[in-house]
């Protein structure tokens, strides 16, 4: 007879989910028993960190990733990371432990009294099998749901005494179902939209995280060049859905209604592909778009479509839609109004990009490295730091950024041309950056990964440094230290609250903490030092941390 555990191993192999993230508790031990040699268990030091690692791994691989959590308490610890996974549409599969079935009606310790409702606010599907033998089928359905559009985290709770129970191998058992493809928008609607785009005077695109695949990049670039259209990213995007090295790229939209309306003013038709409409931060109200601007929204997420503040939303794969629209426009022949005029751009050698005279968003000028660096006790400016990153990092580098206060400075220098090169916290909560970067680097061992995090955000999952050292994950961590939560101080000024408590972080020895976890760490106080240290760090086979004090 085959056990539930053995059937589950077969299921996980089928879905290529042989890397398990976790922090084990007593209710997980029976699941981890007899773990096959072709499986890898990645130990984190708490559940929030383990879940963020699984989040980064799932996003970087594009397939579901498993995190093993400890009954109710461990699932509770992981909730913040699951919220970020929801925002990033990351297919994290949370497998939570549970007390033995006989103890569930009693006040026994470690009983998760509400296994479905505890996680339901942060995941797209949650279940606890009614019978032990149902576990492989229920978990299989959860894996499929995690990867189905719109992808996102799921949670299955399994009593600890289920794993040794038999599953009748002679019966049909659970089917090893293939993953299903995303839905395609209505062909007639796309044909009508292609006609509108072909006649538009000044079309524009917004490329969201769903476009962050090679197919998505190819489709978005082809459509932008055919339409002679600029391309924006959503504000605070978790992924870059368009190569920022392309001449059509305008970077992220502003995060206010007025800013978005101003950025898109002058465009008669805006097509948002897999992007929220719109990501606002400080709510100020106001019209979503300027008069004369029509917006069409294509997303695989019904929730995103329902919450759109303006425009017409269609459900379906934005990648498939962009591919179809480009083909339909090509079939119509040359577009009016100068659409499709080409000139070289920087997204690869000898490629061609569009000439555009459409309005760009205003961006502060980036300071060059030739500018004099501050004195040693003053630190560096964010623009200088990101200019060094752009200079040192190769085209295949990946940046995991969790510096909300300095995010605009990052986009001034960003020059990525490959998909999967940028990651940011999906739900706006801190803690993804460092741990998520460990997961990204494990998923992409041949690409250099740099985590750029703030001195506040690095504390949320600081234990991830131990995991990086333990498994020799060649991650480079750059900590930007301004001594507090500066983005909250900006909010204080905007809200006119006056000084508030709890916004300063004095006396934290980040270099010492990293060293204590087994990660080699150093401090950079000039652009020359940072350039040399960063170039050395990304070439090393083990993790390194660079602490960079910021200029006040």
Supply the mean pLDDT for the chain. 89
Number of Cβ within a 10 Å radius of residue 158: 26
Residue 336 is predicted with a pLDDT of 60
Q: Rounded to whole angstroms, how far apart are CA atoms 399 and 478?
A: 10
Residue 416 is predicted with a pLDDT of 86
pLDDT-derived band at 491 (thresholds 50, 70, 90) equals confident
pLDDT-derived band at 487 (thresholds 50, 70, 90) equals confident
Q: Which two tokens stand for residue 117?
A: 């409702």
Residue 77 is predicted with a pLDDT of 95
Q: Rounded to whole angstroms, how far apart are CA atoms 31 and 28?
A: 5
pLDDT digits (tens, 9 = 90+) for 376-399: 457 899 999 999 999 999 999 999
Question: By three-state DSSP, how is residue 168 classified?
Answer: coil
Long-range contacts (CB closer than 8 Å, 24 or more residues apart) made by 27-30: 27/70, 27/71, 27/97, 27/98, 27/99, 27/110, 27/160, 28/68, 28/69, 28/70, 28/97, 28/160, 29/160, 30/5, 30/160, 30/161, 30/163, 30/164
For 450-459, give one letter per residue: b (16+ CB within 10 A) or e. bbbbbbbbbb
Burial-class residue 10 by CB neighbours within 10 Å (0-12, 13-18, 19+).
middle
Tell me if 265 sits within 8 A of 288, measured CB to CB.
no
**DSSP code at position 51:** H
Task: Write out 198-220 in H/E/C secondary structure.
Answer: HHCCCEEEEECHHHCCHHHHHHH
pLDDT-derived band at 518 (thresholds 50, 70, 90) equals very high
pTM: 0.90
Question: By three-state DSSP, how is residue 431 classified?
Answer: coil
Q: Rounded to whole angstroms, how far apart are CA atoms 239 and 206?
A: 13
Q: Mean pLDDT, to the nearest integer, of 321-341? A: 77
> How big is the chain by its Cα radius of gyration, in Å?
24
Domains 187-354 and 382-549 belong to one CATH topology: yes
Pure H helices in 134-175:
135-147
Instruction: Identify which of 403, 370, 383 has the alpha carbon closest to the alpha carbon of residue 478.
Output: 403
Domain 2-167 classification at class level: alpha beta
Asked if pLDDT for residue 25 goes beyond 60, the answer is: yes
CATH number of 187-354: 3.40.50.1220
- Higher-confidence residue of 178 and 452: namely 452
Task: Write out 358-420 in H/E/C secondary structure.
Answer: CCCCCCCCCCCCCCCCCCCCCCECHHHHHHHHHHHCCCCCEEEEECHHHHHHHHHHCCCCCCC
Length of the chain: 552
**Which bin fits 236, alpha (ψ -120 to 50), beta or left (φ > 0)?**
left
Domain boundaries defined on the chain: 2-167, 187-354, 382-549
Residue 145 is predicted with a pLDDT of 95
Strands 342-344 and 352-354 come out as antiparallel
Residue 284 is predicted with a pLDDT of 83
Residue 116 is predicted with a pLDDT of 84
Q: What is the dihedral of CA 389, 391, 395, 397, to 10 degrees?
A: -20
Angle between the 214-227 and 318-331 helix axes, to the nearest 10 degrees? 40
Helices (H) and strands (E) in the chain, counts: 18, 22
Q: Mean pLDDT, to the nearest integer, of 277-298? A: 92
Q: Any idea which fold 382-549 has?
A: Rossmann fold (3.40.50)
Residue 174 is predicted with a pLDDT of 58
Tell me if 131 sits within 8 A of 138, measured CB to CB.
no
DSSP bridge pairs for 544: 476, 520
- Higher-confidence residue of 262 and 178: namely 262
pLDDT-derived band at 181 (thresholds 50, 70, 90) equals low
pLDDT digits (tens, 9 = 90+) for 75-109: 999 999 999 999 999 999 999 999 999 999 999 99
Q: Mean pLDDT, to the nearest integer, of 456-472? A: 97
Q: Rounded to whole angstroms, how far apart are CA atoms 170 and 468?
A: 43
Q: Mean pLDDT, to the nearest integer, of 312-326? A: 95
Asked if pLDDT for residue 517 goes beyond 90, the answer is: yes
Max Cα-Cα span within the chain: 75
């Amino acid at each position: 007879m085959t056990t539930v555990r053995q059937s589950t191993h077969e299921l996980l192999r089928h879905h290529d989910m042989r890397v398990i993230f976790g922090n084990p508790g007593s209710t997980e031990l029976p699941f981890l028993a007899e773990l096959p040699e072709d499986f890898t268990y990645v130990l984190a030091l708490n559940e929030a960190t383990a879940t963020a690692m699984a989040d980064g791994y799932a996003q970087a691989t594009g397939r579901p990733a498993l995190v093993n959590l400890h009954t109710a308490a461990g699932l509770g610890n992981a909730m913040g990371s699951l919220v970020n996974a929801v925002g990033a549409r990351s297919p994290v599969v949370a497998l939570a432990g549970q007390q033995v079935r006989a103890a569930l009606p009693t006040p026994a310790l470690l009983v998760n009294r509400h296994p479905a409702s505890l996680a339901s606010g942060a995941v797209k599907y949650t279940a606890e099998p009614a019978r032990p033998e149902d576990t492989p089928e229920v978990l299989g359905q959860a894996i499929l749901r995690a990867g189905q559009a719109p992808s996102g985290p799921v949670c299955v709770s399994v009593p600890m005494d289920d794993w040794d129970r038999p599953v009748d191998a002679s019966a049909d058992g659970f089917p090893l179902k293939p993953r299903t493809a995303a839905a395609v928008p209505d062909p007639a609607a796309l044909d009508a939209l292609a006609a509108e785009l072909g006649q538009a005077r000044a079309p524009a695109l917004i490329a969201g995280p769903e476009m962050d695949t090679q197919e998505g990049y190819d489709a978005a670039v082809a459509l932008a060049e055919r339409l002679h259209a600029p391309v924006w990213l959503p504000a605070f995007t978790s992924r870059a859905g368009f190569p920022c090295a392309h001449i059509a790229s305008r970077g992220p939209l502003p995060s206010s209604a007025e800013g978005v309306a101003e950025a898109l003013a002058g465009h008669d038709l805006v097509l948002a592909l897999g992007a929220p409409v719109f990501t606002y931060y400080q709510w100020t109200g106001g019209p979503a778009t300027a008069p004369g601007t029509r917006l069409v929204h294509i997303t695989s997420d019904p929730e995103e479509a329902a919450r759109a503040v303006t425009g017409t939303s269609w459900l379906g794969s934005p990648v498939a839609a962009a591919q179809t629209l480009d083909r339909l426009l090509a079939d119509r022949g040359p577009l009016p109004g100068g659409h499709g005029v080409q000139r070289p751009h920087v997204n690869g050698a000898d490629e061609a990009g569009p000439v555009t005279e459409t309005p760009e968003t205003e961006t502060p000028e980036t300071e060059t490295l030739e500018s004099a660096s501050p004195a040693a006790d003053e630190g560096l400016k964010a623009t200088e730091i990101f200019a060094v990153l752009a200079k040192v990092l190769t085209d295949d580098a990946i940046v995991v950024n969790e510096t909300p206060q300095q995010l605009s400075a990052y986009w001034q220098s960003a020059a990525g041309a490959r998909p999967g090169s940028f990651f940011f916290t999906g739900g706006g909560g801190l803690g993804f950056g460092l741990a998520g970067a460990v997961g990204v680097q494990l998923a992409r061992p041949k690409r250099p990964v740099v985590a750029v995090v703030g001195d506040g955000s690095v504390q949320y999952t600081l234990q991830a440094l131990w995991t990086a050292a333990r498994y020799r994950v060649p991650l480079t961590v750059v900590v930007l230290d301004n001594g507090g939560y500066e983005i909250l101080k900006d909010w204080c000024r905007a809200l006119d609250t006056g000084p508030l408590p709890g916004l300063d972080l004095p006396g934290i020895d980040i270099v010492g903490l990293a060293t204590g976890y087994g990660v080699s760490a150093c401090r950079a106080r000039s652009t020359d030092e940072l350039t040399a240290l960063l170039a050395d760090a990304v070439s090393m086979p083990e993790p390194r941390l660079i602490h960079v004090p910021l200029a006040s």
